[in-house]
Structure 1
Amino acid sequence: MRYVKLPKENTYELIERLKNFGKLYAPIKISERFYDFREVHDVRKIELHYTRTLMPPKKFFFLPREKMFEFDLEKNEYRETIPEVEPFVIFGVHPCDTYGLKILDSVYLDEFPDKYYKARREKSIIIGISCMPDEHCFCNLLRTDFEHDNFDLFLHELPDGWLVRIGSQTGHNIVDRNIKLFEEVTQEDICNFREFERKRAQAFKYHEEWDNIHYLLELEMEHPLWEEEAKKCFACGNCSTVCPTCRCYEVQDIVDIDGTKGYRERRWDSCKFRSHGLVAGGHNFRPTKKSRFVNRYLCKMSFHWTLGVNFCVGCGRCTAFCPAGIDFLRNLRIIAGYEEMSCPPQISGEIPKRGFAYAKDIRGEDI
């Protein structure tokens, strides 16, 4: 891998020149507390030291609503609406979010490429940036706190600038076309990079072993925690919306009033919605809020064998933006045995039959 140094005084000049490679999106402050990736015209408004954006970068590739094709029954015609995408740059992507894109790539590009996702992904340039964790971050526990690939450039903070890792041919082109903005990396820069990464690793709130978390979740599907937390849940789907790796969608045909023309649209769905497990005949595989609540934890903590990470990247958005105040990390730590439940409910003397929640859901019984 090639390394260069970007002096601090050249930071905004480089960002301004990124506009030559496509429309520029970056994190900006949109309210007193929140940040989001938005199109940038004034690069001085970009937040280089933000915590997390309201929406992850997935919104640029997997749109909340998207027309898939149009049809005309009278003419017996069908036309796909593959988007024509201009190149664009996403600047300031944290490591957890680059891992999120890597997971989405494995779903939408690998075996059966999704034409709509692919059209946007091929036109994107990803510029990563280092960050310091807050109390909601736990990417270190899931080994998504340092990205090794899946970026064009990655900027690591130094006292007087940035150590830049170049991860693609596009990244090389950006650097070579703006080579006067960069310097050679010195031994002092290497020491500063090492020190920043050490401080960053120490800044995480928890340092625990989570390799067995998915199996503990399967074993503890009748844990009293789920009943308690599911009662708080609004089933609003907000956690799925802000998640970098949630990718479920539903499709609907929108037909003209005469019933002869129309189009098919797909839009984001959530496993927290009652309709998500509903199938033909009215049967629902997850009829209760509790069953849907547990399912999301199992899904996020599933292991992606190809990438070697979980489907959760530890960004903390689901906790930070939950209107019900549900703490995703706290719940996982309880199941992992690192934290006690506060005010636990009374449990009967009967030993719970662990591991049978799925069978109960399939029969449609209320658990």
Structure 2
Amino acid sequence: MRYVKLPKENIYEFLGRLKEYGTLYAPVKISEKFYDFREVDDVKKVEFHYNRTIMPPKKFFFLPREKLFEFSISKAEYKETIENVEPFVLFGLHACDIFGLKILDTVYLDEFPDKYYKVRREKGIIIGISCMPDEYCFCNLRETDFADDGFDLFLHELPDGWLVRVGTPIGHRIVDKNIKLFEEVTTQDVCNFRDLEKKRAEAFKYHEDWGNLRYLLELEMEHPIWNEQSELCLACGNCNTTCPTCRCYEVQDIPSLDGDTGYRERRWDSCQLRSHGLVAGNHNFRPTKKDRFMNRYLCKNSYNEKLGMSFCVGCGRCTYFCPAGISFVENLRRIMGIEDKSCPSEISEEIPKRGFAYASDVRGEDI
């Protein structure tokens, strides 16, 4: 991998030159507390030190609402409406969000590629940036706190600039065309990079092993947490909307007033909504809020075989933006037994402690 240094005094000129490669989107402050990826006119409004955006960057590739085709019943024909997508640059993605896009790639670019998603991925340039975690971050537990690939450039902050990792041929071309903005990496830069990475690792709130979590979730289907927390849940779908890896959608035909023409669109769906599990015959395979609440935890912690990781990247959005104040990570820690005291103490003494709760069949109590 190629490494260069971008001095701090050159950052805004660099951002300005990125507009030559397409529309520039970056994190900007949209209120007192919140940030989002928006089109950038003034590069000095770009936020380098943010924790998370409201909407994940998936919104640029998997649109919240998208027309698929127009149709005519009388003519028995339809016309696809794939947009002529112009090139664009996404600046300032954190490592966890880059992993989120890699997960979506395994879904939408598999053996049957989604053409609507694919055209946007081909036109998008990804530039990542390092961050410091807050109390909601747990990407270190998901091993998504450092991205090896999935980006064209990645900027790691130094005291006097950024150490830049070049990840793709496009990244090389951007650096080469603007080489006067960059410098060689020095020994001091490497020392600073090492120190800052160590500081970042130590800043995480949680330091645990979640390797067996997905199995414990299956073993703890009768855990009292499901009744307790699903009662608090508003079933609003905020957790799905803000999640960088949720990929469910619904498809609906929108007829015109003439009764003959119309169009089909797809739009984001949420597994927390009752309609998500509703099928023909008015049968619902997740009829209760508890069923839907459990499903999300099982889905986000299931195993993505292609990447060797879970479908949750630990960004903390679902907790931070939950109007009911439900903590996804703390609930998982209870399943792990870290915050759960429901296992009898005599069992804990007989069996070596491994930092998780034991299955309900050895609890010795009815839950």
Q: TM-score range by the shorter chain?
A: over 0.9
Give the superposition deviation at 1:9: 0.6
Q: What is the TM-score with the length of structure 2 in the denominator? A: 0.93
Partner amino acid for 1:37?
F
Matching of residues 330-341 of structure 1 within 5 Å:
330-340=330-340
Partner of 1:250: 250
Q: Which residue does 1:75 correspond to in 2?
A: 75
Corresponding residue for 1:148? Answer: 148
2:235 aligned residue: 235
Residue 309 of structure 1 pairs with residue 297 of structure 2: no
The 8 Å contact of residues 95 and 130 in structure 1, kept in 2 or not, is answered as: yes
SS in 2 for 1:151: coil
Quote the residue 1:322 is aligned against. Answer: 322
- 1-side partners of 2:239 and 2:18: how far apart? 32
Which has the higher mean CA deviation after the structures are superposed, 245-254 or 68-77? 68-77
> What is the Cα deviation at residue 340 of structure 1?
2.9
Aligned to 1:365: none
Q: Distance in 1 between matches of 2:33 and 2:193?
A: 29
Aligned residue in 1 for 2:272: 272
Q: Following TM superposition, by how much is the alpha carbon of 1:44 offset from its aligned partner in structure 2, in angstroms?
A: 0.4
Runs of 4+ with deviation above 3 angstroms: 351-354
Match of 1:26 in 2: 26
Quote the Cα distance in structure 1 between the aligned partners of 2:54 and 2:360: 39
Q: Percent identity?
A: 73
How much has 1:221 moved relative to structure 2? 1.1
Q: Which residue of 2 aligns with 1:346?
A: none
8 Å CA contact 1:225, 1:341 repeated in 2: no
Indicate the SS of the match to 2:139.
Answer: coil
Q: Distance in 2 between matches of 1:23 and 1:41?
A: 9
Bigger mean CA deviation after superposition, 61-70 or 258-267:
258-267
Q: Distance in 2 between matches of 1:159 and 1:119?
A: 38
Query: Offset of 1:50 from its aligned partner?
Result: 0.5
Q: In structure 1, what is the Cα distance between the partners aligned to 2:181 and 2:113?
A: 38
Rounded to whole Å, the distance in 2 between the matches of 1:353 and 1:81 is 55
Residue 305 of structure 1, CA deviation: 1.2
Superposition deviation, residue 352 in structure 1:
6.4
Give the whole-Å Cα distance in 1 for the aligned partners of 2:77 and 2:330: 53
Shift of 1:323: 0.5
Pairwise CA distance, 1:30: 0.3
CA contact (8 A) 1:301 1:312 kept: yes
Inter-partner Cα distance in structure 1 for 2:46 and 2:28? 5
Change (3 A) 1:205 1:267: same
SS at match of 1:314: coil
Please report how far the alpha carbon of residue 341 of structure 1 lies from its aligned counterpart in structure 2 after TM superposition: 7.0
- Runs of 5+ in structure 1 lacking a partner? 343-350, 355-367
Deviation at 1:218, TM superposition (A): 0.6
Paired residue type of 1:250: E
TM-score, normalisation: structure 1: 0.93
| Shift in Å, 1:83 | 1.1
Q: Deviations over 1:92-121 (max 9, x none)?
A: 000000000000111111211101111111
After superposition, where does 1:349-364 map in structure 2 within 5 Å? none
Opposite residue 162 of structure 1, the aligned amino acid is: W
Q: Map 1:32-47 to 2 at 5 A.
A: 32-47=32-47
The answer to whether 1:133 aligns with 2:133 is yes
CA contact 1:333–1:339 (8 Å) conserved in 2: yes
Contact 1:127 1:155 in 2 (8 A): yes
- 1:207-230 deviation digits (Å, cap 9, x = unpaired): 000001011011111100110100
The total of aligned residue pairs comes to 346
User: 1:360 corresponds to which residue?
Assistant: none
Q: Is the partner of 1:141 in helix, strand or coil?
A: helix
In 2, distance between residues paired with 1:15 and 1:257?
Answer: 47
* Ranges in structure 2 where 5+ consecutive residues have no aligned partner: 343-358, 363-367
1:129-175 deviation digits (Å, cap 9, x = unpaired): 00000000000000000000010000001111100000001100100
Other-structure match for 1:116? 116
SS in 2 for 1:193: helix
Q: CA deviation at 1:248?
A: 0.1
CA contact (8 A) 2:25 2:38 kept: yes
Superimposed CA distance per residue, residues 296-330 of structure 1 (whole angstroms, 9 cap, x where no aligned partner): 00000011111111100000000000001000010
1: distance between equivalents of 2:140 and 2:157? 18
Amino acid at match of 1:188: Q
Shift of 1:70: 0.6
Amino acid at match of 2:92: G
Q: What RMSD, in angstroms, separates the aligned Cα atoms of the two structures?
A: 1.3
Q: Contact conserved, 1:7 with 1:162, CA < 8 A, in 2?
A: yes
SS across alignment from 2:284: coil
Query: Residue in 1 aligned with 2:355?
Result: none
Q: What is the identity, as a one-letter code, of the residue corresponding to 1:67?
A: K
Output the CA distance in 2 between the equivalents of 1:30 and 1:12: 20
Report the Cα distance in structure 2 between the residues aligned to 1:210 and 1:155, rounded to whole angstroms: 28
Distance 1:27 1:329 in 2: 25
